[in-house]
Structure 1
């Protein structure tokens, strides 16, 4: 098994080295399917292979773009979780190397269709303890594979395995920090204009396994609406959203049950300037087993920049928790997939 893991990692290391090129930071997005290298279409001076792989012509109307990323981390822990670790752990002070390589290809046909595919290879080395998270290792998987179809005007339909991330990622995050990022399998209807964006989606999160092409769809149902708007000639921005979660996998007070949770929220924030603000409020309702859900979150951040590159600010958050086991309410706030 170790040799097989090493073979896969060596293959992706060579592929990553081959595709390594100068970073065009302004063109690379956090969600790699949002990368923008369209300027190369009008660049008659592009002569290096590093630029050519971002804009490969496969015909008069078909374009191919290739890319990838490679990350290695060394982590060391002393008395993990204050020494309170599961009984099957070998050590409470492990050290580990977290390896990740991702490779993607993007094919577009005119402005009508697009196929985006991304392979993922993550592994954990040196740590003798059992895996406690599905995010530690995933030797080989199709991380993303979706079709974009432009319907009419500013409307687009996305179908397939895809990443989600909105706002400050307080509810749905790519999980960039851990080793393996979180994908979803679903359908997303998107509206995109100069000042507004709207996502309407329904999906199942992907349950990741450590082997090769062995990921499965979770039984959880995650759907919702996310709207973003920036008024003309203004630093003011507003996000409005609704998320719906249906799950029988979550556990509260050491008890499992059917959870139906509705999240209503709003975020107002400024574009970056000499003074800035970011305030987000969210309310949750629904049911868990025989309990009704009532929870709340508030997050705020205010800062000023008296001199360039220096900020002085105040930030905080409030998140409700359950304080009674006799009121037939669940007040624990659920951050969903953050």
Structure 2
């Protein structure tokens, strides 16, 4: 092989590449210069083709790889099947989100969890009644789950949690501590059905959240979340997404694996939701039933069977958004016929064209209270298993839904893409003067037999949330409750309440 052939076969040097930019190098023949320029152009063409192919491949990968899903309130709702494609694994924790269990990769395991550190402090907790703690206390929640997708529509899901409280005078409240408990453990099966319907059945311990969370919610704000033991079925047909369930609520206790089903309470129902484009949102219709052998209200303690029928409309149109809900309850309590109602509405407006896109909203709610022995019926409304933050922008959680008239306003602003500010102001009255004031869980806080005053008080609250990364969020909150005549005129006069909290949470 001649020198020219050897030169054609070797890599082009840096000096030869400069020919394209600077022209013929000194001391090089004209023929050699032309050949060098041709080789340089050929090399440049291949470099550009390779670069374009890489850009195209990256763009193609972006088009087929969805963005990582946000961490859901119910972790079983997250879907990481797209990570079957190794090219879609971009987050440093993606390797544990899709662990293949079969060569065909139709079976896989997902791991995840959460660590939350929450500090809170009260001044005059429970309006000054009971043990007080001016130094505050630390609430810690650690949770981990495994999600086994075993193919043929079979799935196993398990979640372990530890919730502890440190430094609280008076010890833990029921929602503060469960040192180690099985939060969820269910088996899921796809059921063959009509071609136009999908049915999934879950057996075991599981969590639920329906609609706005006003009646059934996982109660994420408090340290110990809410779970149920039983069976549920999810049906998707004709644009409707419906969940039917027959369960017993879990009784949380502070030690290790001592959280049984509440055998005194049975909870069942059907909750259906459908997207409606003309509403800019959707419509919820539901029936929820509960039988409780030890229900306590201001009227007394007795067996209750309560049937809840409701409808909720929600959505947005332009800058406006709305969430309206109407509910009626029938049944019996302690041998008396039961008749109760609830109406709740929030209507908001977002100023999308100005900095921070602030949103203002007005809220109104009315829930019935008992009319007293002379009424012949029992009228206290029950919110069943509501969210842990029912009013305001902070988890102060003083008064709950029963026997209430409430008006409120909120202001929210996006200070940046990751920081949101919220401010709320709420006013509370008793609906019936024959009934008392209740907590978030429906527990009686103050009897209504000691005062004829209606006004309970008003609450100012504020919070700021920083979503530092997809995995980390930080929050600060403050609330001040100004007691009204009903509380100040009680046998033990109520005092203004101050509340502050800070938390940091890591999810994976």
Return the TM-score normalized by structure 1.
0.86
Residues 13-43 of structure 1, C-alpha deviations (whole Å, 9 max, x = no match) = xxxxxxxxxxx87332111000122221234
Say which one has the larger Rg. 2
For 1:61-72, what aligned pairs fall within 5 Å after superposition? 61-72=106-117
Tell me the equivalent position of 1:215: 259
Distance 1:67 1:258, change over 3 A: same
Equivalent of 2:275 in 218, 223, 230? 230
Equivalent of 1:186 in 230, 242, 260? 230
For 1:160-309, what aligned pairs fall within 5 Å after superposition? 160-192=204-236, 195-219=239-263, 220-231=265-276, 235-253=280-298, 255-271=300-316, 273-308=318-353, 309=357
Equivalent of 1:38 in 57, 75, 81? 81
Preserved contact between residue 83 and residue 89 of structure 2 (Cα < 8 Å): yes
Distance 1:210 1:288, change over 3 A: same
Residues 244-270 of structure 1, C-alpha deviations (whole Å, 9 max, x = no match) = 000012102262111000000000111
Tell me the equivalent position of 1:127: 168
CA distance in 1 between partners of 2:117 and 2:259 (Å): 23
Q: Which moved more, 1:115-124 or 1:312-321?
A: 312-321
User: Are residues 1:143 and 2:183 paired?
Assistant: yes
Give, in angstroms, the shift of residue 111 of structure 1.
4.7
Give, in angstroms, the shift of residue 81 of structure 1.
1.9
Preserved contact between residue 82 and residue 88 of structure 2 (Cα < 8 Å): no
CA distance in 2 between partners of 1:234 and 1:297 (Å): 22
Task: Name the structure where strand makes up a greater proportion of residues.
Answer: 1
CA distance in 2 between partners of 1:179 and 1:47 (Å): 32
Residues 146-176 of structure 1, C-alpha deviations (whole Å, 9 max, x = no match) = 0110002511111100001100100111111
Give, in angstroms, the shift of residue 95 of structure 1.
1.2
CA distance in 1 between partners of 2:189 and 2:88 (Å): 31
Give, in angstroms, the shift of residue 128 of structure 1.
2.9
Tell me the equivalent position of 1:116: 157
Give, in angstroms, the shift of residue 193 of structure 1.
5.4
Structure 1: stretches of 5+ with no match in the other structure? 1-23
Distance 1:233 1:302, change over 3 A: closer
Tell me the equivalent position of 2:138: 97
Residues 247-297 of structure 1, C-alpha deviations (whole Å, 9 max, x = no match) = 012102262111000000000111475211111000001000121111110
Q: Which has the higher contact order (CA 8 A, sep 6+)?
A: 2
CA distance in 2 between partners of 1:244 and 1:34 (Å): 25
CA distance in 1 between partners of 2:281 and 2:334 (Å): 41
Structure 2: stretches of 5+ with no match in the other structure? 1-66, 387-508
In the alignment of these two chains, the number of paired residues is 310
Give, in angstroms, the shift of residue 330 of structure 1.
1.1
Distance 1:47 1:295, change over 3 A: closer
Return the TM-score normalized by structure 2.
0.58
CA RMSD in angstroms, aligned pairs only: 1.9
Residues 85-135 of structure 1, C-alpha deviations (whole Å, 9 max, x = no match) = 1xxx4x45351100001100000022511101000100000113133x321
Preserved contact between residue 291 and residue 306 of structure 2 (Cα < 8 Å): yes
Preserved contact between residue 265 and residue 281 of structure 1 (Cα < 8 Å): yes
Structure 1 segments, 4+ long, off by >4 Å, are: none
Q: Which moved more, 1:146-155 or 1:249-258?
A: 249-258
CA distance in 2 between partners of 1:39 and 1:287 (Å): 50
Give, in angstroms, the shift of residue 80 of structure 1.
1.6
Preserved contact between residue 302 and residue 334 of structure 2 (Cα < 8 Å): yes
